[in-house]
Amino acid sequence: MSYSIMISAGEASGDLHAANLIRSLHKLDPQIQVKGMGSQAMRDAGAKLLVDCADIAVVGLFEVLLNYRKIVRKLNILKDELKNNPPDLLILVDYQEFNFKLARAAKDLGIKVLFYISPQVWAWRPKRVYKMGASIDMMAVLFPFEEKFYQQADVPVRFVGHPLVDKAHATKSKAQAMEEYGLDAERKVVGIFPGSRRGEIKRLLPLQFETAELIKKNHHDIQFILPVASTLSEAEFENCLAKYESLDIKLVKDNVYDVMQVCDAIITASGTATLEIALMGIPSAITYKISPLSYAILKHMVKLDNIGLVNIVAEKRIVQEFIQHEAIAENIAAEINRILDDDDYRQQMIEELSKVKQKLGKEGGSDNIARLALELLQNS
């Protein structure tokens, strides 16, 4: 019997997790057919894309409102597919507000729903967990503390481990990568990671470039490198790069872990990247800015001391976070300079990052979620 699965992933990190899942599914059952929403990574893994998520990957309440019609249009395409060509299983990858609307539509049609990568309801609106439990058949979580949270609410849950533990490895040596990117091995390198969403690029890239200018005043021979996410094109960086031409920033569309390993420090957007950087053991500083309206609303709703995933997993702040009004170039540059200049401070951060890696468990996360998906299919 050939199974059909629909997967809905709404941004670059979800697209990557979904792609890894698809490859693991095909190892277990090469006949499984996969369709849905994602971007290039899912397409490369063999999925039939009904919707490309690249232009709806937005963050912040105000930003969602601006793109609301486009988002609803894509949601309706997927709802129609569920109704007209129902899959045997719907797998939802993160992107919670969109995906829970899809989950409810699937449940009304009697389609099994597996939610992969828990929404951060433990951070805000924790009582919503009960509504979530009514919309899904299984929650697959990446962090051990999440499993306990769902168990307490009687929501079916399985800790599958974090797939990034498998993937966060360089494919070439540091020396090879430095040479390939045209970097001088005798000079330090700072990575600029503005995120995978166009909204993040708009808000964070000028700030990160301004920070780079200040760093260069202290470290005249510093080098900068910027990886371009799969959901973006190099053309989207051209205007900002032209303004900061003197920084000679290297743009790379390559394995992001090869880029990370050449860095002595990284200025990063908040999100999955903070965890990837932690797994690679690279000290960093986290930047986060959304519209003032979104921030004013969210700061009263979020129940966490830290927003960076690396710090949430560590259960303390080990990487400094520069959020909204604190996200100014002088603050961020001072932190990066400290990482570059203070060997004790740098080493202490690296040691704490290694503890985060241990907490995320062993390799095999993508295979675990694939086995769980097959289990749900076989028991349907």
What pLDDT was estimated at residue 288?
Answer: 87
Q: Which CATH architecture has domain 4-163+364-378?
A: 3-Layer(aba) Sandwich (3.40)
How do residues 236-253 score in pLDDT, each as one tens digit? 888 888 888 889 899 998
How do residues 278-316 score in pLDDT, each as one tens digit? 999 999 999 988 776 666 666 655 666 788 889 988 989
What pLDDT was estimated at residue 60?
Answer: 52
Residue 213, pLDDT above cutoff 70: yes
What pLDDT was estimated at residue 201?
Answer: 81
What pLDDT was estimated at residue 63?
Answer: 56
Handedness of CA 86, 91, 95, 96 (dihedral sign): positive
38/94 Cα distance (integer angstroms): 12
What pLDDT was estimated at residue 279?
Answer: 96
The tokens for 196 are 């995978």
Locus of tokens 């990837």: 276
| SS3 label, residue 268 | strand
pTM above 0.85, yes or no: no
Question: Residues 183-200: what's their mean pLDDT?
Answer: 90
- Say if CB 19 and CB 45 are below 8 A apart: yes
The dihedrals phi and psi of 41, each to the nearest 5 degrees, come to -65, -45
Q: Where are the alpha helices (DSSP H) in 229-326?
A: 238-243, 256-261, 272-279, 292-298, 309-314
Q: What value does the mean pLDDT of the chain take?
A: 89
Q: Which CATH architecture has domain 174-359?
A: 3-Layer(aba) Sandwich (3.40)
Question: Fold identical between 4-163+364-378 and 174-359?
Answer: yes
Residue 67, pLDDT above cutoff 60: yes
* DSSP H or E stretch at residue 48: strand 48-52
Paired with 252 in beta bridges are 227
Handedness of CA 141, 145, 151, 152 (dihedral sign): negative
The percent of residues in the chain predicted with pLDDT above 90, rounded, is 60
pLDDT classification of 125: cutoffs 50, 70, 90: low
Check residue 280 and report its DSSP letter: T
How many C-beta atoms surround the C-beta of residue 273 within 10 A?
Answer: 27
Burial class from Cβ neighbours inside 10 Å (0-12, 13-18, 19+) for residue 101 reads middle
**212 or 67, higher pLDDT:** 212
The percent of residues in the chain predicted with pLDDT above 70, rounded, is 90
Question: Residues 83-100: what's their mean pLDDT?
Answer: 93
So where are the chain's domains? 4-163+364-378, 174-359
- State the distance between the two ends of the chain, measured CA to CA, in whole angstroms: 13
What pLDDT was estimated at residue 278?
Answer: 96
